[in-house]
Amino acid sequence: MGKQFITEAKRLQKLAGIKETRFDTTQIKDLLNRINSYSGKTFIWFDTETSGFTFDRPLQITQIAAIATDSEGNKIGQFNEKAKLEPKIAKAAEDPESGVSKALQINRYADDTSIKREQQIILSDFVDWVNSFPNPILLIYNTPFDMEVFNTVSKDKKLKSTTLDVMKIAQYFWIPLQQQLAEKGNGRSIEILNKLGTSGSSNLVGSTLGKIANSLGIDNSQAHDAFGDVIMTSGIYREMLKDLEQHQDTEIDKEYRRGRIAADLKFKRKDKENRERLKKLGNYTVK
């Protein structure tokens, strides 16, 4: 796809040498071959919940959840913990109109009344847990956010595993495939696209985790709980692969990617501008 194809690889490379799977092909078969090359790895389905969504305010990880499977999907372990709120986060949460308070409501933080440990202890334990498996690869829905938050917030150990962004598989392969099939009158694809709808000023097909799950008949009632999101991510990945394998000789029409590429470029420029602004204000905390 050339220089315009956005994979966030440069950002991830700054985070302790993280290796991200690139999606610089329009051939479904190429993608499947790359995924098949991971057959000897342990798949770690991973998600975080946080006290916010930007770095210009107090931020911490409030929940880490993961399921470990072999490449065939057989479960071999799980991790699911919520962290105790740090003092500055707890103080910000006292204001019901604050961004922190709203984020905690969305991810239902207060619903879990179990004993919560210190954030840094949980982060360290999670890195050890991931590294206890042979050849781990992290499968995440929206890799850059979770990896950057983790490796920014963690004061001790960093995540250095190879990553596979399930959201990019949806955006650059599965959704365009449904669009191409719908153009040919495929009833299932038309129904899927109707359920996904469109979002944003660019009028792109919706690609949030909950929408993708709903379009594939996967329960999304536990969305915004990290463990629920992990289960959804695993479920939609398997279903999307079935579609991609069925149509593996199809080449994705670049026209169906053009809007997504433009949106990614716009986001990248805006993200860079915001980071420069925050650095000048002294609020930028990404290491």
- Between 225 and 8, name the one with better pLDDT: 225
Instruction: pLDDT band for 184, please (50, 70, 90 cuts).
Output: very high
What angle is formed at CA 51 by the lines to CA 100 and CA 149, rounded to 5 degrees? Answer: 140
What's the average model confidence in pLDDT over 203-216?
94
229 class by beta-carbon count within 10 Å (0-12 exposed, 13-18 middle, 19+ buried): buried
pLDDT at 199: 79
pLDDT at 256: 87
Instruction: pLDDT band for 237, please (50, 70, 90 cuts).
Output: very high
Helix (H) or strand (E) holding 167: helix 166-169
Instruction: pLDDT band for 10, please (50, 70, 90 cuts).
Output: very low
Dump pLDDT digits (tens) for 48-97.
999 987 665 668 999 999 999 998 899 999 999 999 999 999 998 999 98
Distance CA 113, CA 252 (A): 47
What's the average model confidence in pLDDT over 175-201?
93
pLDDT at 113: 81
- Between 283 and 286, name the one with better pLDDT: 283
Return mean pLDDT, the chain.
Answer: 85
- Residue whose structure tokens are 């398997």: 238
- Does the pLDDT of residue 22 top 70, yes or no? no
Identify the three-state secondary structure at position 125.
helix
- Does the pLDDT of residue 224 top 80, yes or no? yes
pLDDT above 90 covers a percentage of the chain that reads 61
Name the pTM for this structure. Answer: 0.85
- Does the pLDDT of residue 225 top 90, yes or no? yes
pLDDT at 86: 92
pLDDT above 70 covers a percentage of the chain that reads 81
Beta-carbon contacts of 15 under 8 Å, excluding residues fewer than 6 positions away, are: 147, 148, 151, 158
